[in-house]
Amino acid sequence: MFENDLPLTKFFITTVIDQPTELTVKIQSRRAKLSDNPANTPAMPNVWRYVIAKEAWQLAGTTPEDNDNLLETPIGPIIKVKRGTPLTVTWVNELGQDTGGMGGMMPPGMAMGGAADLPGLAMPPINPLPMAYANASMPMMNPSVGVVAHLHGGQVPAASDGWPLAPLSYPGNPFQDACGEAFPVEKTVLYPNNQRAAMLWFHDHGMDNTAPQVYAGLAGLYFIVDGSDEALAQLMNAYNTKQNGQAPSDEIVEIPLVLQDRMVDGDVCCVDYWAGIPTQFDYSKPDAPVLDKVRPEFLGETVFVNGRAWPRHNVTQKVYRLRLLNGSNARTYALALINPTPWTATPNGRVNKIAYSDLLTVIGNETGLYANSRTLGEKDYLLLAPGERLDVLLDLTGICAHEVSKLRLVNLAVQSVFNNEWPEAIFQTEDQSIYRVPNNFTLPKGVLDQGSVWLNTLLAVKQANVMQFCIEPIGADACACASANPQLALNRLAFKADLEDLLVTYAQQDTAFDDPGQKALTAGGAVVAENRLVLLMNNTNPVAPPKPGEPANKFTRGDWQDTQIWEMLAADGNADNAFKLPFSVPLDTNGIGSASGYQPYRVARSTFLVAGATPIARNGQRAYADLHPPTFTPTAGTYERWYVANIGNWQPGTDAAAGTPDMHPFHIHLVSFVVLRRFSFQAVDASNPVDYQFVEQPLAAGYDNNIRHDTVRIYANEMVELLVYFPASPCCGVNYTGRYPYHCHLVEHEDMGMMLHVEVLP
């Protein structure tokens, strides 16, 4: 571990684009470094990659990538654009077709009959799941016939959002859209960038194939910048000069960190997708030798940051701005900062400590800067689910590099490993998934104590290690903390005060949500137009086979899925398909929802495409099946209140609770939203596992109520109340009507059916 340098300057990074510009970005199969060791250089293409066309290379101060050379990083590029500057991007697919043929990849006896299958997109170079497994275990999932670029967090026109059913396919492909037009190889889109300065990212969004195609490398960063970025940089530079004038002034202090977990081969030149999805042969079916999934989501044991496994990065006694993205398929991180060798003797004999998370201050997330900063306690951690981003300051100005030469970023969300669970479990709740810091956290004095045992045990788990900061001393006596100069602490207080002023100033530059005194974000007096009820439904209680002629799922009139989204409407309480919840959501008015007796609802929609659809490319199918008509049709320029519950597939009040759902990061395209309330779904009486209730919970400090999201964690057996704003149309000359998906951002869940869409009306 910690043998690779953190890639920063090795990324292809554009200069800040401050004039209307046109870019061409190609999707290519390429060779890319996964390691700094030359012995690990791949001989064959090992990634799919976004590459900015050679004619645009002058936008960057780095080497162009549109050639046949070995790429320095397996992800990228990084695009920076000034707020309010429109960017036109032409996405070009240069991937070919599957030369093996999907039908030819199936073992004898597995062909679905009928017309011959059509060749899909080339298979990514990541050892994907065998087609036989997909056909047998997930026969309704669509094979990949192309790629779709989505700007996650972007407020963009629907035609530029990355619609999953409008892929860029290979040249000469036989597929067509709902209007009979052939799938193109390239498409030009518009990103208006009329939104708050923030860290966005672009990634693949291919129908039912987001997981393997993002895993193959289709991910890059996109920063919208404004005056807040320049003001913060000036503030940090002035503070760094005051605290440590001898530190180098040309050092990069804004550091993007893209976290991804992977399974790697023995040569560390390729990643393996199938190895991270536990499967096993079903020996009870000797005539159908396919695999059964043990866990459908990918979890890897090697943590990559910016495309390198467990990197190291040299730092000094400065404050740094860390721009964090969880780009993993399904792993949630609980990030803490620790001293990995606290028992090392120090020159002055002072006792070291283990936990250093109090050096971290959160100043923003995926939708931009907060109105107030949040400094962590020394034993705290940062939760980051797939798709989420955080903007964090790391202040090392009080650290003596002679005493603490290394600080390690670790992941505490590994309790499943210590429970000896196989396979490792997906994150559910903090209580169940976090490997807790012990209360007795002292250092060894001749014998191992609780803290050192905890630390050694944690660091022995591969997926608990993320990256290491190596703190370089500036001369023999230049450590900022080595002196008793009280001015250093005064400087820190002044910096904190100036930082708060800056945050408040830029937090107010938002027309979507009103911020009265930075206490809570509201609709600013506007009327909430609609209430919505959404259930994130998990197959935690496998259902017995139905009786002849009856559907497996009486609520949806279809089959049970491992993961689904149900859009709910009001129902007659006597209807046989009514699903009852102990919560009243006024779906015919705009009143506020509340806990209540059991209320009947009906499932209006549970699938993205029409039920029973034949997958594209199967049996000669040249188009995707019809899109399911939308249930939710918000009006542009209005607010809605969404109640989103994450529960299992048992009927509370009638059936006993069974199983625990996964946590789901819930993402709605186009919009930002605020968490107004959270409710725990819990038994009325612990001795009665049938009767349940929704109990309002305290809001998460620094996470809910007064900050915006585009992705929110909804824990197991929890419901959130969201205030959602759909941007006015036309806004700044751009129309925001049309179809936009929403889904779970555990991307295997998204592919397996946990995605629906809204249609925004004028």
Of the ranges 389-403, 433-447, 525-539, which one carries the lowest mean pLDDT score? 433-447
What confidence tier does 293 reach under pLDDT thresholds 50, 70, 90? confident
Name the pairing type of β-strands 406-411 and 465-471: antiparallel
pLDDT at 454 (0 to 100):
85
Q: Is 755 exposed, middle or buried (0-12, 13-18, 19+ CB in 10 A)?
A: buried
Q: Would you say the C-alpha torsion 570, 573, 576, 582 has a positive or negative sign?
A: positive
What confidence tier does 88 reach under pLDDT thresholds 50, 70, 90? very high
Look over the chain and give the mean of its residue pLDDT values, rounded to a whole number.
89
What confidence tier does 103 reach under pLDDT thresholds 50, 70, 90? very low
> Looking at the predicted structure, is the pLDDT value of residue 558 above 80?
no
pLDDT tens, residue by residue, 6-50: 999 888 888 899 999 999 999 999 999 999 999 999 999 999 999
Higher pLDDT: 532 or 539? It is: 532
Do residues 709 and 196 touch, judged by C-beta distance below 8 A? no
pLDDT tens, residue by residue, 48-74: 999 999 877 667 666 789 999 999 999
Do residues 239 and 397 touch, judged by C-beta distance below 8 A? yes
The arithmetic mean of pLDDT across residues 89-104, rounded, is 79
How far apart CA 340 and CA 454 sit, in angstroms, is: 11
pLDDT at 107 (0 to 100):
32
Q: Tell me the HSE value of 274 on the side-chain side, using a 13 A CA sphere.
A: 17
722 contacts: CB under 8 Å, gap ≥ 6? 641, 642, 643, 644, 673, 674, 675, 676, 712
Do residues 538 and 661 touch, judged by C-beta distance below 8 A? yes
Helix (H) or strand (E) holding 242: helix 227-243
The arithmetic mean of pLDDT across residues 532-540, rounded, is 91
How far apart CA 204 and CA 684 sit, in angstroms, is: 43
Do residues 561 and 753 touch, judged by C-beta distance below 8 A? yes
pLDDT tens, residue by residue, 422-454: 899 999 999 999 998 776 655 545 445 667 788
pLDDT at 249 (0 to 100):
78
pLDDT at 350 (0 to 100):
63
Q: Phi then psi for 242, rounded to 5 degrees? A: -65, -40
- Please give the domain boundaries of the chain with CATH numbers for all domains: 21-225 (2.60.40.420), 300-509 (2.60.40.420), 517-760 (2.60.40.420)
How far apart CA 304 and CA 325 sit, in angstroms, is: 12
91 contacts: CB under 8 Å, gap ≥ 6? 25, 27, 149, 168, 186, 187, 188, 189
As a whole number of angstroms, the longest Cα–Cα distance in the chain is 82
Do residues 35 and 305 touch, judged by C-beta distance below 8 A? no
> Looking at the predicted structure, is the pLDDT value of residue 280 above 80?
no
pLDDT at 554 (0 to 100):
81
The arithmetic mean of pLDDT across residues 298-314, rounded, is 98
pLDDT at 348 (0 to 100):
60
> Looking at the predicted structure, is the pLDDT value of residue 327 above 70?
yes
pLDDT tens, residue by residue, 471-500: 988 765 555 555 457 888 899 999 999 999
pLDDT at 288 (0 to 100):
55
pLDDT at 622 (0 to 100):
95
pLDDT tens, residue by residue, 452-473: 788 889 999 999 999 999 998 8
pLDDT tens, residue by residue, 337-394: 999 988 766 666 666 789 999 999 999 999 999 999 999 999 999 999 999 999 999 9
* Strand stretches in 523-648, DSSP E: 528-538, 563-570, 579-584, 594-605, 639-648
How far apart CA 430 and CA 332 sit, in angstroms, is: 11
> Looking at the predicted structure, is the pLDDT value of residue 552 above 80?
no
- What is the Cα 209 distance to its own chain's centre? 16
Percent of the residues in the chain that have a pLDDT greater than 90, as a whole number: 67
Higher pLDDT: 315 or 291? It is: 315
How far apart CA 627 and CA 634 sit, in angstroms, is: 18
